[in-house]
Structure 1
Amino acid sequence: MPDDIIYATLLLVSVGSGVLVRNTRSILARKLIASSVGIGLVLFSCGLEGVHPLIVTGVNCLLILLVGARWCHIASFIWCFGYLAFFRAAHWFGLPRPQPVTNALQLFNALRMIGVAFEVHDAQYIKKRDNVSEEAAKLQKEFQMTPSSLDILQYSLCYIGLFTGPYYKYRTYHDMLHLKVDAHIPIRKYALARIKQLPVIAVVYLGCSYFFNIQYVKTEEFSQDPLWFRLVYMVPMFQIFRTRLYLAWIMSELMCFTAGLGAYPVEAKAKCGEGPSDFVALKECSEKDVCHMEYEFETVHNLDIWGCELAPTTREGLRSWNMSVQYWLAAYVHRRLPRHLGAGRVAITMGVSAFWHGIHPGYYLSFLTVPPILVAEDLMIAAFRRGSATQMLLFDWACWFFKMRGFDYNCMGFLLLTYGDTVAYWKNIYFMAHIVIVIFCVIGYLLRPKKSKKKKE
């Protein structure tokens, strides 16, 4: 069965199952339904390969119990990423090569298991932030949880986001189970806003997929095509790549909506991945009549299409893409690293992200190209983004054009995967993006405004 049909089936069943979960009053019944649907989807799509996430979850529960809250997050991180490496290299040891759908399952299960270990750690050792009141810090401490092994197993098997994300905390899952059925949640409003986007995205995806294929890039005929054609070919390939992900992520948000996952009162100021940030307001809302509160789904907001498509800079475009995974990387990697590492924190975080995506060299070639793009972009902004509003608008559109070409260029590494194929394509277009990056760095550096030196008294 083609992968696209399998994914479509998984997503449609997951969206439909949310209605049953949300309208079930018993908390235990909700747990069982969410876990049972998850087990069914794993068996349907992965078969016996579904044992891999069970192994990861089981050992992760043991680590939390045996290592304790102080170090369980480090042990879990090493274990989950270590097993992820073994899982991807299993065919080197005579085991069958995992299916792509099983790989997706393993990816998001690793995020959940490491995340829940950090939640257990933070529940005991959370630090009070300087700008937070004593009351808010106390309520934040109460909001943290230490789930049992059975709770973690059920969280791992919950069908929502098993294969496509978004990442959500155990606390978010717990709050879904305890959500009052008669809560005033504008599900239809959020669902319709997402559903309206699906037809256009689907047409673009199917149209580009019909006329363009990544396999053609590997042929001898492609290298004989005109340079302009080889350059332009990466544009529809990135169009196929991102619209396919758009479809999956929109359906993922829909399955959260129908189940009520990630629904919090507007006053709680929920953030993507994290959940509520205003714990005083959340406490006050818990004492109100739920019928008089408005809820929103910012916790599971995983995709900002307008930001991805129209943001003028690479940094803004990246922030709009797979937002819950970016939250995970920021919360459990970047912010946990010592501040004295400086820019090294960014490099380590991007290395973790590349490893999480896979072990194919194409991922690393693409990820390593991002930092130079950001440097070139920042230098050009410092040098040229000034003057009248019209001049800045023109610069922003030019910046947007080169941002999209950078995404097109790096996307080829994600699609071609191997070192040889990726470098062969880049060589076919004379490493155009790398040359432009160097040119922009030099121009931006030479023409940026000089910092004025303060005169000594």
Structure 2
Amino acid sequence: MSFDDVIYVICLLACIGAGSYARKISDEGQRKLVSTALGIIVVVIVSGLHSLHCFVSLALGTCAVLLVHPSKGHLVTFVVMFGYLVFFRMFDFYLGIPGHTNMIQMLLTLKVSGIAFEKTAAWKRLQARDEQKKNDQRDVNQESLVEITDYDEELQTLSAAEILHYSFNYIGVLTGPYYRYRTYRDYFEMPFKTYAPSVEATLEKLKHAVFYCALYLATNYIWPLDYALTDEFFNDRSFVYRLLYVWPTFFTFRARIYTGLTLSECVCTMAGFGAYPDESDPTNGEGPRKRYQHLKRDAEKHTYNFSTIVNTRVLEVERCWTFREGMKHWNVCVQYWLAVNVYKLFPSKKYRVGRTGATLLCSAYWHGFRPGHYFCIMGAPFYVALEDMWDKLVRKNAIGTNRRIIDVIFWIFKWFAFSYLGEAFLLSSFGKIWRYYSSVYHIGYISWAAMIALGLYLTSQKKAAERRKNRAAEKAAAGDGISAAVEKEKAQ
């Protein structure tokens, strides 16, 4: 592990330990101040002078949230926060910035722009309610007034201090998970944290984190990514070895990510953050999807879960059969942000491809400006399209043993696709990516193109066969109709 990684793990473990103390602070105002102070300390320890980027971007984003009219505030804040990433990464290009500072800045971008989107959505609901109230001639059959909550009103009176507290709360400040301002507010206003099984959930997650960390250290020692950059790798290793090397290196990457994300979730669970009653139907990133405010009256009687702050469903990622399913379970809190604030709000909803492309492009931009981010993320939809095509051709209607065999084949291809595209993400620069892909003769892209061509051909043949079958059935039906008419005339 690098020195930065060691500092990063120590900070996460310290934050986990702080959760036990923070959860027991009875005064909510004091807990908020302590949480923010801890967050700022962590940011400064990890980033040093580079933490100034976080404070400057937060100040600019806060001005956009508070000073721009809510009808345009979300767009202006989005441009300000994502625009600052350009300056931040140019600064990184010339002077170098610790990698974990980059992650802090990325999460800060989502939080500040996310709260602006929440404020605008609440403002629109308030406007719709006011418009309905003005309509004195409203038809009795018309839909009831737009449902407004105290949270919608509160968002319109946000203060700079609240945005500061939300942005630098020590819970999630390093690597997430991303959570809404509503989740943050509930932590200080709802009693759920007191009754949630915080210690039990944390210990269970810590076991997983230790396991993932052990896998990371072992595989990184045996199959280091740096070896894929050496002349020995390209000159002395066979084509098959070079091609298969993407499997262990991407496995190492996954184990590292799983370790960091699981420790980040431990920070949340130890503090009781993101705990909601099962009855509220909480989901990743969003939080409760059902009414839950009334549940605080008998909070001790409910069972709780931490689904809101689960960022990656590790078992589902590993066990699911297809690439599409794997994407749904990976980094789900960030995917929630992208789905709500980019995909659903994309100006043109007519063309799904455009919305999907814009969402993935935003994701790639958020991750960084290096070519590897775009090779990896923008390549995913092409493989998904290929996979969907073959799913309809051979997997959808398969049953029994055939289905199990096909599932395993899809699973193998899924991980090859993840690993092949992920190698570009890891190698990062265009020169390194091109050298590696050339050494394996771009077999991934070539084979996928061939499979798409074959899939299109088989799909067209299948549709042609179905059309012929339908025409034959229509002719047979018409012939039966004529025969029936003849028989009827003879009978008469």
Which TM-score tier does this pair reach, normalised by the shorter chain?
over 0.9
The 5 Å alignment of 1:45-56 reads 45-56=46-57
List per-residue Cα deviations over 1:415-440 (Å, max 9, x = no partner): 11100101110111111111221122
Partner of 2:274: 262
List per-residue Cα deviations over 1:12-34 (Å, max 9, x = no partner): 01111111111111111111110
Contact 2:110 2:178 in 1 (8 A): yes
Q: 2:385 aligns with which of 375, 395, 399?
A: 375
Shift of 1:136: 8.8
Partner of 2:323: 314
Shift of 1:198: 2.5
Determine helix, strand or coil for the equivalent of 2:196. coil
The 5 Å alignment of 1:262-411 reads 262-279=274-291, 282-286=292-296, 288-337=297-346, 338-385=348-395, 386-411=397-422
The 5 Å alignment of 1:33-432 reads 33-90=34-91, 96-126=95-125, 137-139=147-149, 142=152, 145-146=155-156, 147-180=158-191, 183-224=194-235, 225-279=237-291, 282-286=292-296, 288-337=297-346, 338-385=348-395, 386-432=397-443
Shift of 1:98: 1.6
Shift of 1:135: 8.5
In 1, the alpha carbon distance for the partners of 2:256 and 2:218 equals: 12
In 2, the alpha carbon distance for the partners of 1:360 and 1:61 equals: 28
AA aligned to 1:118 is F
In 2, the alpha carbon distance for the partners of 1:135 and 1:183 equals: 35
Contact 2:375 2:425 in 1 (8 A): no
In 2, the alpha carbon distance for the partners of 1:345 and 1:144 equals: 31
Contact 1:383 1:445 in 2 (8 A): no
What is the TM-score of this pair, normalised by structure 2? 0.87
In 1, the alpha carbon distance for the partners of 2:10 and 2:151 equals: 40
Shift of 1:142: 4.8
In 1, the alpha carbon distance for the partners of 2:40 and 2:162 equals: 15
Distance 1:349 1:45, change over 3 A: same
Contact 1:361 1:417 in 2 (8 A): yes
Shift of 1:59: 1.2
In 1, the alpha carbon distance for the partners of 2:436 and 2:174 equals: 30
AA aligned to 2:122 is A
List per-residue Cα deviations over 1:219-244 (Å, max 9, x = no partner): 22111211111012111110111100
Contact 1:357 1:363 in 2 (8 A): yes
Shift of 1:156: 1.1
AA aligned to 2:21 is L
Determine helix, strand or coil for the equivalent of 2:97. coil
Q: Percent identity?
A: 31
AA aligned to 2:124 is Y
AA aligned to 2:332 is M
List per-residue Cα deviations over 1:279-335 (Å, max 9, x = no partner): 2xx14313x311112221111111111111111111110111111011111111101
Contact 2:210 2:259 in 1 (8 A): no
AA aligned to 1:364 is Y
AA aligned to 1:354 is A
Larger helix fraction of residues: 2
In 1, the alpha carbon distance for the partners of 2:8 and 2:125 equals: 38
Shift of 1:183: 3.5
Contact 2:23 2:194 in 1 (8 A): no
Distance 1:140 1:436, change over 3 A: farther
In 2, the alpha carbon distance for the partners of 1:235 and 1:126 equals: 48
In 2, the alpha carbon distance for the partners of 1:354 and 1:186 equals: 36
Contact 1:380 1:443 in 2 (8 A): no
Shift of 1:389: 2.0
In 1, the alpha carbon distance for the partners of 2:145 and 2:30 equals: 35
Shift of 1:446: 2.4
In 2, the alpha carbon distance for the partners of 1:259 and 1:411 equals: 34
Determine helix, strand or coil for the equivalent of 1:273. coil
Distance 1:268 1:91, change over 3 A: closer
In 2, the alpha carbon distance for the partners of 1:56 and 1:214 equals: 33
Distance 1:440 1:189, change over 3 A: farther
Distance 1:352 1:36, change over 3 A: same
In 2, the alpha carbon distance for the partners of 1:199 and 1:171 equals: 31
Shift of 1:193: 3.0
Distance 1:91 1:273, change over 3 A: closer
Range that drifts further, 144-153 or 365-374: 144-153
Instruction: State the number of aligned residues.
Output: 448
**For the aligned residues, what is the CA RMSD?**
2.2
In 2, the alpha carbon distance for the partners of 1:303 and 1:45 equals: 24
Shift of 1:144: 6.8
Shift of 1:44: 1.1
What is the TM-score of this pair, normalised by structure 1? 0.93
Gaps of 5+ in 2: 129-142, 479-492
In 1, the alpha carbon distance for the partners of 2:8 and 2:407 equals: 37
Contact 1:23 1:181 in 2 (8 A): no
Contact 1:313 1:403 in 2 (8 A): yes
Shift of 1:276: 1.1
Contact 2:4 2:98 in 1 (8 A): no
AA aligned to 2:113 is I
Distance 1:426 1:171, change over 3 A: same
